[in-house]
Structure 1
């Protein structure tokens, strides 16, 4: 039986302002006050797991324990079929540089690896998101979402973030980066996981 959410405040265990704004928007209809990790001066815990759920659990439990609030964390990334589902949990790592994250570099690396392998078209990929809602008593609930699509090159679109400019979701003629936020948020991997969270804990 999924535990129901009965509190009126939730901590989003992220320092990413864009992700926090997205979560505020998603929680708005449910009358829940959303606070971010940065507002609470929380450090970012080391993500030492090799799975999305493992890393999301680390972030959610650390935040719940530190603040006494229920905390929601997500871990997400892109899995490319022809690259044995890489970069997956290491999606952000592929973009790391000394001056912050460079996703154009990461997308270019991905494309070059596919070219080296002579990977056939269409080049299939999926975005995955895992949400973990943790309570201060150590209980948690896990919700997973995904969206399947094809990788395109050259990159297209100015919206979104991460790998959005090279990911064209199934059933659409445009990439995530060519969609406005509302359209993307209605079909994204995070929206899929979030709908399951709402149904499970708020329904």
Structure 2
């Protein structure tokens, strides 16, 4: 099957294509002439994922899906949450979607904090045959004291998943994809597509 992933982030495209394997041929909006920034200003991950998927579906008429991911830190009341990608920018501590600024602000806010529990949560919104579906994936873990590793992107260098001694950024991509929040949400997406004969 062919499907559009409503993102401009080629890291996310590469990760999701690796998880989907040969079950689907994934393209991005730019491949279909949609090059503008996709709006994502809803107050929840679910709302953002649906907003992005609807935006692309309205412009292409094709099956598509979008995801939104938030890092939710217990000691910070669930921050950065829906603002994860622009955490520093919305707090006047950086510009745009700079991961280094986001991580620096997060580590500053957790200085001296014993409770470093956190979770990554991904919501995928699928529009297939005109119908909307939501899938969620969660991975629990903790925020490390400093950055470690060079793989992955976003907050991967400061997030250590439960049951592992290394951060996402220190893992081989295959392992991260298997256990990550996006991997778990995508697994639910795949189950759905397989169940309805979409393989």
Q: Above 0.5 in TM-score?
A: yes
| Residue 97 of structure 2: aligned partner | 101
Q: CA deviation at 1:169?
A: 0.3
Moved more, 19-28 or 184-193: 19-28
Is the CA contact 2:70–2:121 (under 8 Å) kept in the aligned structure 1?
Answer: yes
Q: State the alpha-carbon separation in 2 of the partners of residues 162 and 23 from structure 1.
A: 15
Q: State the alpha-carbon separation in 1 of the partners of residues 110 and 191 from structure 2.
A: 38
Q: What does residue range 43-192 of structure 1 map to in structure 2 within 5 Å?
A: 43-96=36-89, 97-98=94-95, 100-115=96-111, 118-121=112-115, 123-135=116-128, 137=130, 139-192=131-184
TM-score by length of 2: 0.90
Structure 1 runs not aligned, ≥5 long: 1-7
TM-score by length of 1: 0.88
Is the CA contact 1:10–1:69 (under 8 Å) kept in the aligned structure 2?
Answer: yes
**C-alpha root-mean-square deviation of aligned residues, in Å?**
1.5
Is the CA contact 1:134–1:140 (under 8 Å) kept in the aligned structure 2?
Answer: yes
Q: State the alpha-carbon separation in 1 of the partners of residues 54 and 129 from structure 2.
A: 7
Structure 2 runs not aligned, ≥5 long: none
| Residue 19 of structure 2: aligned partner | 26
